Structure formats: structure tokens, C-alpha cells
């Protein structure tokens, strides 16, 4: 394997040569700031996933290392993220009790499967599968998930027990248990919510006002979660709040995770596989979007297929090191970028920071109140809820709005997978519906020009014997039959025509179904005494038509330009000026020898 090829699979090598002391010190600073952010986030998202909070710390050690070696983004920070944590909980709670050892083992298996699915997708070049999930579906999924997460975390803020998976169940269960609210817990949780919310919304402004530099004013509020944790832990310890019913994180072992393989039970694998696929897709989409945003700022390039390998590797490593499913996170990547991270080394150093945190400070986490972690989660995810997007999307195109609404309702009131499947199904159906009704226009000649335009929109000249039809779409199976219908209609509406010319300037592809349909159309027109012709067929489409026998059989001609077709078939109406036609010819003589094109 030569050096270039090696660098493709280990992208960090590209940056290794120019790495100097300046870059190293910037990376180091960024790593420290990133670590301070990651500690509360990791603890919180592990709790969200139904796992012991320390698992979140473990999951922040190996995955960033894997990504630093394999990933193509210089900025993306990988670790536990909210949506993936929710998917993890949603996969495991029907099977095991949260907090048990089986639950934690199953989470490892889930991460391993997700990693495997990502590697497989990379191997089979299936990254395009994420195209199935349209923006409105993802947007609806994220908003609904955030609401669901918030509802599920309310119990920690209130210090009550709730159960249920859907929004209705959670709401009902929370309201029923409301009388059991623990006031000390609510005080801590409520104050944390308020504090974190204010820091997030006003922190930057207030710090600027009291004289901090802009960069500090924007960086310091990011430390609010850590501050909230430390202060609340101190309060709990000093006031002995644990005895008054404030739930805390509890014992955190002061040791690094040992490497081990999760148990591979076939039955469990089969049960977990669907959600592992979902985690792979959702994690991949999220990571690539974030990575591309930062890559653009640095004019770099993200290789989606290599990203699959990197994320797959990160998930497999997290599975081997007692972690949980991971993905690239937006907020942590912002922090890393703004803190001046130059290379993936920042991520690697933050992994070191997390490892040191576990080794040195683990006992400190014992008294962290779960209510504060819940507040951190809620404030983080509520910023993802964008109900206005539903209205905007609906106004832009009701089809997109409907897919988004279906996703949201499904996620909230049935379950996450069903919601995504509903959105996916509806968007595919409506996509097919749209693409199966392409715009088909009868065109006529603009007086005195060689241009042909829609007869409904322009004052044009129509030939009495030649019907000109333009299709504004590639011809493939979703619209092949519609084309047959429309041509049949148009012919019935235009008695007296002898030729029909299909203008193919917008046709980028003709698949086998459309070819059959063209054959059927040609045959039916024949029996009605009409000859079919084509015009302005693009090069690659023409190559393909030549391979099939259609061109020999349909009996018509293929014209370079639509004008030429009319000039030939109905010279009287067309009144063409041959010298203006000649003006088009230089284009052809400028043609390079066509390259062999892949489809």
C-alpha cells in the first residue's frame, strides 16, 4: 500500500507533517475547554440512555481517538449525543431494566452492531441510503425526539418515578405522580434549569456588558453546566440533601474501563439490529452534516464513505471499552472549533483529558444530583425543537410538511421507529407521486425564432400537422405510464396531426420501463396513422437508445434540434431561415471526443 493510499484511509497523516509547536499548543488549549464541556454532557447523555453516568465518560475516551485516526473532518468531536442516547434507550428499555448489568451489556452490543452496520455500509458504498431520509423527516424527528426527551427527564427534575415510552404515557404518568414531587430535588432541578437557560440565552450579552472580551464572553457560558454540577454537588454534600431524597449519581469507579467483547447472542442481535441500523443512519447523517459545515469554513473536503469507516470504528471501540453508541455532536464541535482546535489532535487530547478525569476526579461525581444532569439535557435538547419549521415547510410545499407532521406524530405518539418509517414512507410515496406527474407541455414556435415554448404561456405558432410535446423530467418507471396516458390524451385532443415530436431536452435518463412505454406509444400512434419522432436527445441517453433496438423499430427520426424537426416535417408553417440554423453548428464542431461516462 503506497503512502497516498494509506493517507486516504488514515486521513490524519495528511496533517501530520506540518504539525508544529504552535498548532500543538492551540490543540492543547482546545482540548482542555472541550473536556470541561464533555464531562457534564457525557454524564447526562449516559443517564438519558438509561446507563450509569460513568459510561458516558468511558464513551468519550476511545471513540474520539478512533475518529482522530480515521475521520476526514479536522473539527468533528465524537462521543455520546442526545438523539443517539434516546435511540439507545428506546431500543433497550423494552428488553431490559435500565441500570442493570444486562442493560449495559446490551448497549455495548448495540454499539458494536451499529459500528458493524456502518462499516458494511461503507464497504457496499451504501452511504446514499441516507438520502431516503429527507430534511423534513429528520427535522420532524429531531423536534419530536427533543420533546420526548424533555418529557422523559421531567421525572429527574421532580424527583418522581414515571413510566411509559410515548408522549401521552409520559405526560399521564408524570401528572399522576406529581403529588410525590420531592421539593429539595425540584428546587435544585428548577434552579439549574433557570440558571442554564439564562446562561445560554443571556450569558454572552451580560458578560460583554460587564467588560469581558467577546471571545471570553462567548466561551464562558459554555462552562455553565460544569459550574452547575460542581455547585450542586457541593450543596448536596454540605446540606446532606441525599438523605432528603435528592437522587445522586452514586459510586463512580475510579478506574479506566477494561477492554472486552460484549456477549454475542444471536437472538438479541436479531432484536437489536433494526435500531442499530437506525442509529447508524441517524448518527451518520448528523455527523456528516456537522462535519461539512466546518469543512466548508476551512475549504476542506469530507469523504462520506471514509466518515462511515471512522464512525463505525468509533462505535466498535466504544463497544469494546464499556461505552455506549456514539456519533459526532454539534455543540461539542462548535466548542472545539471556537476554542481554536487545529487538527484531530485536539480530539485525541480531550480523550486523554477524559481518561484523567475518570482516574483523578471520579469520586467527585458521586454526589452529583441527577436533577442537574436532567436540567443540562433539557436545556440542550429544547434548543433543537423547531415547531415553526413545520409551518414554514408546509407553506413551502404541503408534501414536505405532511411528511414532517407524520414523522412528528409517529415519534411522539407511537414510537421512534414507527415515526421515522411513517415519514419515510410518506415522503417516498409523495416523491413518487410528484415524479410520476411530470410537467408535460405542448410547445410551439416563438415567431421569428428557433425557440419553442409552452403554448399555454406564450404566443406561439403551432403546426397543424406536427404536435410538439416537451417533457420536463427524465423518463423512468414512475412516470412512464403517465406519459402514455398524456400522449394518448393529447393525440385525442389534436385530430389531424401526422407527426408527434417528443422534445427531450430535459430528459436525462430513459429507463427500461420508459423505453417500453415509448415503444407502446410509437406502436399506438402508428395504428392511428401518426409517426413519433424525438428531438434534442442528450448524448448519454442516445448511446443507450442505440444499444436497444428501439431506434430501428420506431420508424421515426431523431433530430438534433426541435427547430430542425419542424423544418423537416412542416416547412411551410415553420418558415425557417436556414442561415440562422447554421449559427448553431459551431457547437457541434467544438465537440471533444466524448469521454467514457459512468452512469
Q: Which stretch binds a copy of itself (CB under 8 A): 233-241, 257-265, 353-361, 468-476?
A: 468-476
Shortest distance, CB of residue 411 to a copy of itself, whole angstroms? 18
Could you tell me the CA-to-CA distances from 444 to 58, 111, 206, 438, 574 in Å, in that order?
Answer: 69, 61, 65, 19, 10
Asked whether the beta carbons of 188 and 369 are under 8 A apart, the reply is yes
592 is a contact residue toward a copy of itself (CB under 8 A): yes
Residue 144 near residue 419 (C-beta atoms within 8 A): yes
Residues 289-318 that bind a copy of itself (CB under 8 A): 289, 292-293, 295-302, 304
**Phi, psi for residue 460 in degrees, rounded to 5:** -130, 170
Question: Measured between alpha carbons, how far is 415 from 275 in angstroms, rounded to an integer?
Answer: 12
Q: Which is nearer to a copy of itself, 350 or 517 (CB)?
A: 517
498 binds a copy of itself (CB under 8 A): no
What is the rounded distance in angstroms from the CA atom of residue 98 to the CA atom of residue 165?
13
Q: Write each residue from 538 to 567 as x if it is in contact with a copy of itself (CB under 8 A), else as -, in one continuous string.
A: -xx---x--xx-------------------
Give the residue with the Cβ less far from a copy of itself, 10 or 303.
Answer: 303
Residue 534: CB atoms within 10 A of its CB come to 26
Closer residue to a copy of itself (CB): 248 or 471: 471
Nearer to a copy of itself, 124 or 238 (CB): 124
Minimum Å gap between C-beta 339 and a copy of itself is 17
Q: Could you tell me which of 24, 59, 29 has the C-alpha nearest to residue 336?
A: 29
Q: Which of residues 231-270 bind a copy of itself (CB under 8 A)?
A: none
Q: SS3 string of 13-45?
A: HHHHCCCCHHHHHHHHHHHHHHHHHHHHHHHHH
Report which of 479, 489, 531 is spatially closest to residue 509, judged by C-alpha positions: 479
Cβ nearer to a copy of itself, comparing 188 with 288: 288
Residue 582: all three cell numbers together = 447554421
Position among 73, 143, 479, 531 found at the interface with a copy of itself (CB under 8 A): 479
Mark the segment that binds a copy of itself (CB under 8 A) among 86-94, 177-185, 259-267, 453-461. Answer: 453-461
Residues 501-540, mask of contacts with a copy of itself (x by CB under 8 A): -----x-xx-xxx-xxx--x--xxx-xx----------xx
Q: Which of 477, 542, 551, 576 binds a copy of itself (CB under 8 A)?
A: 477
Instruction: Please identify which residue in 20, 22, 128, 388 interacts with a copy of itself, judged by CB under 8 A.
Output: 128
**Choice between 254 and 391, CB closer to a copy of itself:** 391
**What's the Cα-to-Cα distance from 229 to each of 44, 106, 193, 234, 332, rounded to whole Å?**
11, 29, 12, 8, 18
208 binds a copy of itself (CB under 8 A): no
Cα distances (Å, whole numbers) of residue 553 to 153, 509, 533: 68, 20, 12
Can you tell me which residue has the cell 389531424? 496
Q: Which is nearer to a copy of itself, 180 or 472 (CB)?
A: 472
| Phi, psi dihedrals of residue 554, rounded to the nearest 5° | -80, -15
Which triple of cell numbers denotes residue 422?
411513517
Site for a copy of itself in 2-61 (CB under 8 A): none
Whichever of 8 and 451 has its CB closer to a copy of itself, that residue is 451
Beta strand pairing call for 499-503 and 531-535: parallel
- Residues 334-373 as x/- pattern, contact with a copy of itself by CB under 8 A: ----------------------------------------
Per the structure block, which three cell numbers stand in for 432? 413518487
Cβ-based nearer residue to a copy of itself, 258 or 527: 527
CB closer to a copy of itself out of 167 and 502? 502
* Inter-residue contact 165 to 151 (CB < 8 Å): no
Point out which span in 17-25, 80-88, 227-235, 441-449 binds a copy of itself (CB under 8 A).
441-449
CB nearer to a copy of itself: give 181 or 293.
293
Per-residue buried b or exposed e for 286-313, using 16+ beta carbons within 10 Å of the residue's own CB: bbbebbbbbbeeeebebbbebbbbbbbb
Q: Report, in Å, the least distance between residue 128 CB and a copy of itself.
A: 5
- Least CB distance to a copy of itself at residue 579 (A): 14
Closer CB to a copy of itself, 19 or 431, in the complex: 431
Residue 199 or 532 with smaller CB distance to a copy of itself: 532
Please, what is the minimum distance in Å from the beta carbon of residue 462 to a copy of itself? 14
From 66, 351, 491, 558, residue interacting with a copy of itself (rule: CB under 8 A): 491
CA distance 362 to 372: 17
Whole-angstrom CA distances from 98 to 49, 90, 94, 101 are 8, 11, 10, 9
Site residues (CB under 8 A) for a copy of itself, limited to 136-155: 136, 139
Give the one residue of 135, 172, 200, 557 binding a copy of itself; rule: CB under 8 A: 135
The only residue of 30, 236, 332, 473 in contact with a copy of itself, by rule CB under 8 A = 473
Q: What's phi and psi for 470, nearest 5 deg?
A: -110, 130
| CA–CA gap between residue 140 and residue 403 (Å, rounded) | 8
CA-CA-CA-CA torsion sign (192, 188, 247, 91): negative
Query: What is d(CA 372, CA 228) in angstroms, rounded to the nearest whole number?
Result: 7
Minimum distance, C-beta of residue 512 to a copy of itself, in the bound complex (Å): 4
Task: Yes or no: say if 56 and 42 are a contact pair by the CB < 8 Å rule.
Answer: yes
Cβ 486 to a copy of itself shortest distance, Å: 11
Report how many residues bind a copy of itself under the rule CB under 8 A: 98
Using CB under 8 A, which of 458, 498, 557, 576 touches a copy of itself? Answer: 458
For a copy of itself, the binding residues in 385-414 under the rule CB under 8 A are 392-393, 395-397, 399-401, 404
As given in the structure block, the three cell numbers for residue 539 are 448524448
Q: Pick between residue 229 and residue 282 the one whose CB is nearest to a copy of itself.
A: 282
Amino acid at each position: 500500500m503506497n503512502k497516498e493510499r494509506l493517507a486516504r484511509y488514515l486521513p490524519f497523516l495528511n496533517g501530520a507533517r506540518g504539525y508544529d509547536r504552535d498548532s500543538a499548543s492551540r490543540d492543547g488549549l482546545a482540548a482542555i475547554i472541550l473536556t470541561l464541556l464533555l464531562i457534564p454532557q457525557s454524564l447526562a447523555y449516559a443517564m438519558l440512555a438509561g446507563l450509569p453516568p460513568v459510561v458516558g465518560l468511558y464513551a468519550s475516551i476511545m471513540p474520539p481517538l478512533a475518529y482522530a485516526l480515521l475521520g476526514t473532518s479536522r473539527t468533528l468531536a465524537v462521543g455520546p449525543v442526545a438523539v443517539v442516547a434516546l435511540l439507545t434507550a428506546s431500543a433497550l428499555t423494552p428488553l431490559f431494566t435500565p441500570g442493570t448489568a444486562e442493560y449495559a451489556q446490551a448497549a455495548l452490543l448495540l454499539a458494536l452492531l451499529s459500528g458493524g452496520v456502518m462499516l458494511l455500509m461503507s464497504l457496499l458504498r451504501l452511504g446514499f441510503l441516507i438520502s431516503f431520509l429527507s430534511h423534513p423527516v429528520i427535522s420532524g424527528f429531531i423536534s419530536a425526539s427533543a420533546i420526548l426527551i424533555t418529557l422523559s427527564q421531567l421525572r429527574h427534575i421532580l424527583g418522581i418515578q414515571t413510566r411509559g415510552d410515548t408522549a401521552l404515557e409520559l405526560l399521564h404518568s408524570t401528572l399522576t405522580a406529581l403529588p410525590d414531587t420531592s421539593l429539595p430535588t425540584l428546587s435544585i432541578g428548577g434552579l439549574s434549569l433557570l440558571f442554564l437557560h439564562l446562561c445560554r440565552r443571556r450569558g454572552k450579552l451580560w458578560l460583554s456588558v460587564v467588560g469581558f472580551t467577546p471571545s471570553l464572553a462567548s466561551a464562558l457560558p459554555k462552562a455553565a453546566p460544569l459550574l452547575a454540577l460542581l455547585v450542586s454537588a457541593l450543596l448536596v454534600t454540605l446540606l446532606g440533601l441525599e438523605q432528603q431524597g435528592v437522587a445522586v449519581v452514586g459510586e463512580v469507579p475510579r478506574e479506566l474501563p477494561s477492554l472486552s467483547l460484549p456477549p454475542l447472542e444471536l437472538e438479541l442481535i436479531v432484536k437489536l439490529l433494526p435500531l442499530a441500523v437506525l442509529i447508524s443512519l441517524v448518527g451518520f447523517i448528523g455527523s456528516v452534516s456537522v462535519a461539512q459545515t466546518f469543512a466548508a469554513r476551512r475549504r476542506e473536503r469530507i469523504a462520506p464513505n471514509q466518515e462511515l469507516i471512522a464512525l463505525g470504528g468509533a462505535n466498535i471501540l466504544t463497544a469494546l471499552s464499556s461505552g455506549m453508541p456514539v456519533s459526532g455532536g454539534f455543540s461539542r464541535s462548535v466548542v472545539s472549533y471556537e476554542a481554536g482546535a487545529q487538527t484531530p489532535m485536539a480530539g485525541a487530547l480531550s480523550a486523554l483529558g477524559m481518561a484523567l478525569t475518570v482516574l483523578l476526579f471520579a469520586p467527585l461525581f458521586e454526589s452529583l444530583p441527577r436533577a442537574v444532569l436532567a436540567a443540562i439535557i433539557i436545556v440542550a435538547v429544547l434548543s433543537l425543537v423547531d415547531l415553526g419549521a413545520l409551518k414554514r415547510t408546509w407553506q413551502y410545499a404541503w408534501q414536505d410538511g405532511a411528511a414532517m407532521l407524520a414523522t412528528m406524530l409517529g415519534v411522539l405518539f407511537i414510537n421512534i421507529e414507527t415515526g421515522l418509517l411513517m415519514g419515510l414512507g410518506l415522503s417516498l410515496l409523495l416523491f413518487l407521486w410528484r415524479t410520476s406527474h411530470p410537467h408535460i407541455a405542448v410547445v410551439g414556435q416563438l415567431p421569428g425564432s428557433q425557440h419553442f415554448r409552452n403554448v399555454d404561456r406564450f404566443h406561439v405558432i403551432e403546426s397543424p400537422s406536427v404536435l410538439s410535446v416537451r417533457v420536463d423530467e427524465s423518463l423512468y418507471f414512475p412516470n412512464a405510464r403517465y406519459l402514455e396516458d398524456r400522449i394518448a390524451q393529447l393525440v385525442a385532443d389534436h385530430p389531424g396531426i401526422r407527426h408527434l415530436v417528443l422534445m427531450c431536452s430535459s430528459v436525462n435518463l430513459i429507463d427500461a420501463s420508459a423505453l417500453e412505454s415509448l415503444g407502446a406509444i410509437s406502436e399506438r400512434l402508428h395504428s392511428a396513422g401518426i409517426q413519433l419522432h424525438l428531438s434534442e436527445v442528450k448524448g448519454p441517453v442516445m448511446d443507450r437508445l442505440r444499444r436497444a433496438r428501439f431506434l430501428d423499430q420506431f420508424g421515426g427520426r431523431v433530430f438534433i434540434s426541435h427547430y430542425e424537426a419542424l423544418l423537416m416535417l412542416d416547412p411551410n408553417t415553420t418558415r425557417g431561415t436556414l442561415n440562422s440554423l447554421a449559427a448553431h453548428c459551431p457547437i457541434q464542431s467544438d465537440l471533444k471526443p466524448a469521454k467514457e461516462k459512468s452512469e
